Chain A
Amino acid sequence: MKFSVNWLREFVDLPENPEEIADLLTRAGVETQNIETRGAKIDKVIVSQITASSRHPNADRLTVCEVDDGSGTKRQIVCGATNYKVGDKIPLALPGAKLPNGTEIRKNKLRGVESDGMLCSAIELGLGSDAAGLLILSPEAKIGAPIGDLFPADTILDVEITPNRGDLLSHFGLAREIAALTEKKLKSTARESKIPVKKTGVTIASTHECPFFSARKIDNVTVGPSPQWLRAKIESVGTRSINNIVDISNFIMLELGQPTHAFDANKLKGGINVRLARDGEQFLALDGKTYSLKSDSCVVADQERAVGIGGVMGGEETAVTDSTKNILLEAAYFLPASIRRTARELGLPSDASYRFERGVDPEMVLRASQRATELIQEIAGGTPAKEITVAGKLPANPADVSFRYEKCDRVIGIAIKPKTVDEVLTRFGLKKISAAEITKWKIPSYRRDLQRDVDLIEEVVRAYGAERIPGTDRSRFTPSSAADRAHNLESQMRERLVAAGLNEVRTSKLLPGERFAFGEKAIELRNPLSEDHVALRPSLLPGLLGVLDHNIRAGAERVAIFETGRVFEPPSGAEQKRVAILLWGNVGGEVHWRNEKRRVDFFDLKGAIELTRTGLSFRRDQHDKFALAVKITADNQRVGLAGQLTNSLASTIDASGGVFVAEVSLDFPIGGLGSHATFRELGKFPAISRDIAMIVAEDLTHERIWEVIWHPTEPLLERVEFFDLFAGTEIGEGKKSLAYRLTYRDRSRTLTSEEVNAVHAKIRERLRSDLGAELRE
């Protein structure tokens, strides 16, 4: 909310420097986001009146005005605005004036017509953000007077009020807070109202939503423009001037925090009844829009129809206009939760609903009504009814709060003298009503946020100053958790993949609808915000394809990436941790004289997958998006998918050549702290190696050969390495050549060549007989 420092000064003495006020508030949790200097302390800008206006002879968009500047001779001014009429009073910058935006005004010719000064808009004078046209001044403004007389210098603070502090949403409220923080006295307060009330003429059917309602009739008012001081005041904090009655209502809200509303009494049909809307009830609001109401919204109605959405906005039909003679002034208390629901349902937040939602001060309702009545009398004349008509009951005062100094010290962490605590709380308007060991405090009506001892402790922190509480070093031994171990495993895996040259990416868990390249189902959001974030990712692969797409467009020639993260399985939304890998383009980094120059292939992918977790098996699979589909299993459970995308899918993102992707689940049992590697004795005796080269049928797998070499187990066989694969015409159609190195060792003695030969021959024989391998010597 915007606050005028001048206005605040009416209630409390403030430091001269606005920065100091801002800093004081910010340190107390009332953050000042912006400080703006306003006012027209500009020399040579005066009040002028347009006495005649004609079309510019050479320019369609310009007019030539004759202006009275109070000097007795008229000035000719060329002007581009259209929002004025002859007789309006407008600020006039005389030649030699220097405007806040740096413009210097000179006498000059515009398209051949002399212009002896400039008529100004609000923004040109630094008086607001309205650049739409000339600033029309109040008719009372004295012609020839310096503009500074109308707009005294001021500072506007833009302050963020947290939702628990509805009591700060007025100049009086913020001044009261500043007074408490600076140990100053409030200079004036809204007077207590001792106006007689009567209880007929207004009824409340929805007492839950609207506990209290008051109305005061004021007859024979004169509706018209507001006096300059009133306009300037409300406009300085960003409220547009409408007419004197509406402006007074807004002024009261900005000053005291209590929204009020004036109806044209002659347009009301019978007495006021506050009730719930009928489902689908149509209502034309002051903003000119028709709203369809729901049955949980509270409306202010006359005997025929709704005339206001309670606490949110008045109706167009009963609005105060220039011809209004008699008004009915509403001041009420609405239930915050009800107002919040209604404003939200209708998408109609207003200054009034903003305050009611956060809770207004019940004690201020009638005081505000009285203050508004007095101002209306003063400015618009009229005769108020002797009594205010009321219905319902104002909410009870907030409950007393118990408080122990010892707990205060415990929560804050330092000892603060009870006397200091008492002073702080008293300054904030609390009253100590019991001084026993557990003290008891009466809470002021405007501080409904103070409900428990910790709320009072927070007040102590705010007033005492968080910066005066020293930080303490307090630690605690904490055993590692399952989440710690999972995190460590994931970190290690990421480090391995990074060491292998892959880059980690992090893609959005919210996917656009069309990204479902793999035909997965996904949980869709009930209320997505944009087309890009529609569904929860059921897989990491769509995200990786998106990254590939982006990088190909950005000119990348090689993409080697991985991501670890959660996916959401439809329809339950069960969350699973996975790792996914995508490889495309050439092996290795940029072009380099030492690099192996070839495209990535399935075995690059498989090698990367094998860095993620151990004990994986790979089986051929079918998938309509994969030219080569491989099922990944661990302990006979399916844990993932790998392969090469079909060309038709790859070509949708202009990826020429193979795109290799894999996705593996990371949800597997994680050992406790005890799970780690253990030492095996190093072989002391020399090993003997023998190579086997064989020609086999093309469709015989390496896995099968491996099995035959290892089973049945030969005790002396220590290690087997696969080191060559070849296929070609020399070997013959449908055949391939493979080579393995077998290493033999005994832990307790040196092997003889004969022993090794015997075992090796056994294995060779198995390969020949079991697999039909043609062994090469």
Chain B
Amino acid sequence: MTHPLEQLRDDALREIEAASDEQALEAARVKYLGKSGSISAWGEQMKTLTKEEKPVIGKLLNEVRNAVTAAIDTRNAQFRLQKESGALARIDISLPGTPHEIGALHPLTQMWERSIEIFRRMGFALADGPDIEDEWHCFDALNTPPEHPARNEQDTFYLPDGRLLRTHTSTVQIRTMQAAPPPIRVIAPGAAYRRDELDATHSPQFHQIEGLYVDENVSVADLKGALEFFMLELFGSETEVQFRPHFFPFTEPSLEVYVKSKALKGGERWIEVAGSGVVHPAVFEQVNKARGDKAYDPEKWSGYAFGLGMDRLAMILFDIPDIRLFAQNDLRFLRQFA
């Protein structure tokens, strides 16, 4: 049998649930829990109960009161939320978010940063050298004798005082070895210059990363391992890397590096991306002469060196058709790489 208190509770909960607004809810509260509310009235009646009834009914009264109070609170919270969100309901959340314009790094910078990151993972430190060089650092020290075809006014920019703009970043190899004994493990990003007419694939100023590793027993196999790792990191694990014998005055043996990758546009054929080789002993001899010691004894130390064309790599990676776009700096171009 249902106790009248339980009946009261059920009635109260129904009314609270049905209350359409705050006024109706308040009326219900007064009706049941107000000073002379029907549930409150039971508090007075307690005095009239027997000793046996008192604890049972007292407990029940408490439960009923709590249940009704909780229901009123919940309903109240619902009314408050309805009111608050009602004001926000009219906002068109499909409108665009507040723009935070972020600029773009130049694609060549991105190419450089990516390359440097990979080489750092392989334990290379950075090295640096000037753009304006003397003939010794650019040519003689790199086993390129005075009558060599590259050493002329046709191919190299000269300053009035006889200095020149370096034709490759290999000059940093020499400067690094002059400054410190082996072992050496460095990369040098930088600009280089050749007297080329500007067209879609040539620019008088271009960009390279030079690499040099001198240690005991450095071999062609070590060179291959390093550049293979680099190319796979850069172009993806699908990439194939090929080394073809070539000729550079400052390395022997010399190898040109080619890559092929389905992931690249036009990557079905081999693309030349770097020159490399084992440092020519004549280079060590020149460095020793300049240092005035035997720090780079070709019988004790060997090394590999490489030069990567950044413009070319960026053109391949980002599918950029014309080298002139780099120096033009059209914002529509730059923003594509943001």
Contact = CB atoms under 8 A, between A and B. Distances in A.
B15 interface: no
A412 B329 contact: no
B253 A454 contact: yes
Given A504-B105, A575-B130, A527 B124 contact: no
Contact of B132 (A412, A527, A575): A575
Interface in B88-134: 95-96, 98-99, 101-106, 108-109, 113, 116, 122-128, 130-132
Contact of A573 (B96, B132, B197, B334): B132
A487 B245 contact: no
B247 A481 contact: no
Interface residues of B, number: 87
B105 A481 contact: no
Nearest to A29: B245
Contacts of A561: 329, 331
Interface in A454-509: 454-455, 457-458, 461-462, 466-467, 469-481, 483-484, 486-487, 491, 494, 497-509
Interface stretch (B22-30, B147-155, B289-297): B147-155
A158 interface: no
Nearest to B227: A471
A525 interface: yes
A211 interface: no
Given A506-B326, A510-B204, A593 B96 contact: yes
Given A29-B245, A499-B102, A504-B334, A510 B193 contact: yes
A584 to B, nearest CB: 11
B99 A466 contact: no
A588 interface: yes
Contact of A593 (B95, B126, B159, B222): B95
A506 B191 CA distance: 11
B4 interface: no
A340 interface: yes
A466 B205 contact: no
Contacts of A411: 219-220, 253, 278, 302
A472 B224 contact: yes
Contact of B243 (A454, A467, A528, A559): A467
A476 B131 contact: no
Given A506-B326, A575-B132, A478 B158 contact: no
A476 B96 contact: no
Given A29-B246, A458-B252, A509-B131, A532 B183 contact: no
Interface residues of A, number: 91
- Which residue, A29, A466, A474, A547, has most C-beta atoms of chain B within 10 A? A474
Given A478-B123, A556-B331, A573-B132, A336 B147 contact: yes
Contact of B103 (A162, A466, A501, A592): A501
A31 interface: yes
A613 interface: no
B204 A529 contact: yes
Contact of B149 (A163, A474, A487, A592): A163
B217 A410 contact: yes
B32 to A, nearest CB: 45
B219 A410 contact: yes
B328 interface: yes
Nearest to A595: B99
B14 interface: no
Contacts of A508: 204-205, 327
Interface in B125-147: 125-128, 130-132, 145-147
B149 A340 contact: yes
Interface of A: 26-29, 31, 162-165, 336-337, 340-341, 344, 357, 410-414, 452, 454-455, 457-458, 461-462, 466-467, 469-481, 483-484, 486-487, 491, 494, 497-510, 523-530, 532-533, 536, 547, 550-551, 554, 556, 559-561, 566, 568, 573, 575, 588-589, 592-595
30 contacts: A29-B244, A29-B254, A163-B149, A164-B247, A411-B219, A411-B220, A411-B302, A413-B220, A466-B244, A471-B226, A472-B222, A476-B215, A483-B125, A483-B126, A483-B128, A484-B126, A505-B334, A506-B108, A506-B326, A510-B193, A523-B160, A525-B159, A526-B157, A533-B205, A547-B329, A566-B131, A588-B99, A592-B96, A593-B96, A594-B99
Nearest first, the 4 A-B pairs at minimum CB distance are A413-B221, A29-B245, A413-B219, A471-B225
Interface of B: 95-96, 98-99, 101-106, 108-109, 113, 116, 122-128, 130-132, 145-147, 149, 152-154, 157-160, 163, 165, 183, 185-186, 188, 191, 193, 195-198, 204-205, 213, 215, 217-222, 224-229, 242-247, 252-255, 278, 280-281, 302, 326-332, 334-335, 338
Given A413-B220, A523-B160, A573-B132, 18 more contacts: A341-B147, A469-B224, A471-B225, A472-B219, A472-B221, A476-B185, A477-B123, A481-B186, A497-B103, A499-B102, A504-B103, A504-B334, A508-B205, A508-B327, A510-B193, A529-B195, A554-B331, A554-B332
